[in-house]
């Protein structure tokens, strides 16, 4: 269930190329969450918000378009490898969308991948947790895997806190 704020300057791309880019970014975000981008129910919960902006570099208007994608997913979806893959893939999608219109597009694309803490993803007037979303978007089995992934992350975070404090954690019974 990705959400993405796409900052694309007005006129940076022809309208049809921009639509294709945004569709491709949607596909990429869903794929990196382990969901099937061809599933229309899953696509219906993948939202991109397009922001038009003015861009300044070194205090002067930018001579070529600059892009920023702020991708947000429920906690437990990204690790360093997935963040790197999302960044590389979204950057490449922009390179392809620009199709050589301006030089060095990879130097003008920034991608920020954020996890929204579990228990704070809200919609439809309620809170959705990663297992709820995974069960809907992927499969009932994915719900269990998401619960296990969050539990493993919590254990790892707790172990790091104990280690930083120089304290041995107490084994659970």
The terminus-to-terminus CA distance of the chain in angstroms comes to 36
Residue found under tokens 């659970």: 172
Query: Cβ distance 37 to 30 under 8 Å?
Result: yes
β 67-74/109-116 pair status: parallel
3-class SS of residue 153: helix
- Spatial distance between the Cα atoms of 132 and 123, rounded to a whole number of angstroms: 12
Complete domains list, the chain, with CATH: 3-124 (3.30.429.10)
Confidence of residue 166 (pLDDT cuts 50, 70, 90): confident
- Spatial distance between the Cα atoms of 131 and 166, rounded to a whole number of angstroms: 33
pTM of the model: 0.84
Model confidence at 61: pLDDT above 60 = yes
């Amino acid at each position: 269930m990705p959400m993405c704020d796409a900052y694309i300057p007005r006129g940076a791309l022809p309208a049809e190329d921009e639509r294709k880019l945004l569709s491709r970014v949607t596909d990429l975000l869903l794929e990196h969450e382990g969901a099937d981008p061809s599933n229309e129910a899953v696509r219906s919960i993948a939202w991109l918000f397009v922001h038009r902006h003015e861009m300044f570099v070194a205090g002067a208007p930018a001579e070529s378009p600059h892009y920023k994608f702020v991708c947000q997913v429920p906690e437990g979806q990204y690790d360093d490898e997935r963040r790197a893959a999302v960044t590389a893939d979204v950057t490449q999608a922009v390179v392809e969308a620009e199709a050589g219109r301006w030089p060095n597009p990879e130097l003008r694309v920034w991608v920020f991948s954020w996890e929204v803490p579990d228990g704070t993803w809200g919609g439809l007037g309620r809170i959705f947790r990663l297992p709820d979303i995974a069960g809907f978007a992927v499969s009932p089995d994915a719900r269990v895997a998401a619960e296990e992934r969050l539990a493993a992350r919590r254990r790892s975070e707790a172990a790091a806190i104990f280690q930083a404090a120089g304290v041995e954690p107490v084994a659970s019974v």
